Structure 1
């Protein structure tokens, strides 16, 4: 009885999305590219392990993870004057072709015996140049073709596609890494982006005519002005940046935890990421079927809860404890992006949404790679377990500080409101 009721609730939340042709056509292609990226979570780090001598593995893993996403900041800032006026559909296609070409060069260079660390990092960096624009464009497209009441469900479904890839992708990569090697897994990722590029060229128009969006404002700095005029968005962006910063070392420390502390291989690393992804899918789908959530308090609770879930890595206990904690962390974290994008979609003018989301993406792209770059030296200096638990403590601290500031600001606003007479200030 309860399960049937829950199923109907989920169906009511998600079924209307597939009545919109562009969203319905793009989602499978995005899922394929997400699966490719999910495999690369393991492949990028594991290929770095193969390319570097044992003493340099930590720094090279951090550099590879950073190179895979960080240059998107440069693309968002330097190429903005040419890209911000493009439709979301064309931005998705441009990013997909860029990813396909440069990631496809990795296995070819490996096969020729010419893939050394510097060249590997260069190819990863070039592949991510349009990452911020491509990532923001799919959420901007959802906001463009869907009514406001369906945006949270759409965001949750897009996030779920990415989380499903962290279940299937790492597990599949863990198997394939022993059969074809990590370089060829990255080649499969390149093919997945080529499929997305081809599909995004044939989306068609919305099924029902929607009001035409205003022409994009291409003046420099418009995205920053929107954020400065909306403190709630700027505050969420700052907290999310810190959240991602403290998450960055996990991407370096976890492979080392599996290899050094557990004495296991790529399949075990894939299992950890798969457990995280299963939890994230559960959390994202559940929140996507809900309505009228208090967005900012829920976001802070997610940050604190994810930090608590990282603490089992510090226990002298069997690996099952840290695996369960990582899965719980995924369940808590899963809804975060859907909720955060909903906040931006609701408080940003339609003609500036892609620009603001690209700016948001470019800012956040600096956080996790910076944390990953710091993760190598930190794991060498402090130890793997200490870094993993330390990230959790830092997340709890960020959530507590943000909550205190938010409560203080809310009280000050109420005091100012009460101080003004009903008829307005008297002269």
Structure 2
């Protein structure tokens, strides 16, 4: 591209609020608008001439040669725009960035350059964080990318995944990435509610509608006006209530229990379930018409065993939350490796519970292998288990000597592995001459 063309294009891009750069076909950054300079640091002149993959990823080769999706390659093949979620290096550290690349054509319809738009994802982090979504594995990135695509629309979203995969966090991130972010985010737990209670919670009721209704109550649909209504475990909605829920979604109107006035609903619908809704439709346990209404845009949330690479990040995030609550914990590398080897049928919820439980036994604020649950499912370290059936027999002198001789960790970690305090370990090793 000629210099005059680049300058004209940059002048046009200056009107855009989002960071944007101009690239040639050899991955060179030709110019950047002010929004890019403000968000990603430096100046347009400083970025000019550098390879985009070197600036964004610190790679020595293009993204596709480094095992990633390269939007430039895809845009050239498609001769149209391409979009991808990447992790970019920024002045604030690594961040999730939504990248959209559009080719520039000359008079002969040859591609002569590209315009790249970059939008930082604020609702998730590729680094440990005490708040929000955390992850950088391929499975996590796929789910986050799907969320970013649908967030600007009003399309109903159905989050599918096993229990404990973080469905409410994803729903909140969807809300915060949407045009309704300034509105309320209202959670409706559909499990364990009778049909009557579900209806009164969802739609509210008028005074005198039933015994005990001494005053008018606003329902959660009304509370969610202008925001997002999150129906968690929608597979548990009672059959009779499914009809009224379908009517609410189709007509956008409802009546309070005991009322006659039709009220207008204004919310973005997000639903979630761990149940097989398709099978439930086939079995007649879930209405087919309701299923198609709520599943316009399904997103599969990966199980923790599908994103083992994220476990160290999630562990560090737990430590940050603990530090925020006033406790400086750490986890040994051996313990992290053991956590990564587990299948986690309870997913992130189970991991959090295991770490919280282990922290109770970390008297020195270090969570080692000895503080983690036993492979057979025991719920406490052997030295402090609650019952005789859970208690491991104390190590004999010979067993302790063998453990000590072959142990490569610290004295503190050895004590944890042996089920002893550091002081008891010192005395035992001294007594058997293995200290």
User: Is the pair's TM-score, using the shorter chain for normalization, greater than 0.5?
Assistant: no
Q: TM-score range by the shorter chain?
A: under 0.3
More strand by share: 2
Name the TM-score, length of structure 2 as normaliser: 0.23
Of structures 1 and 2, the one with the larger relative CO (CA 8 A, separation 6+) is 1
Name the TM-score, length of structure 1 as normaliser: 0.23
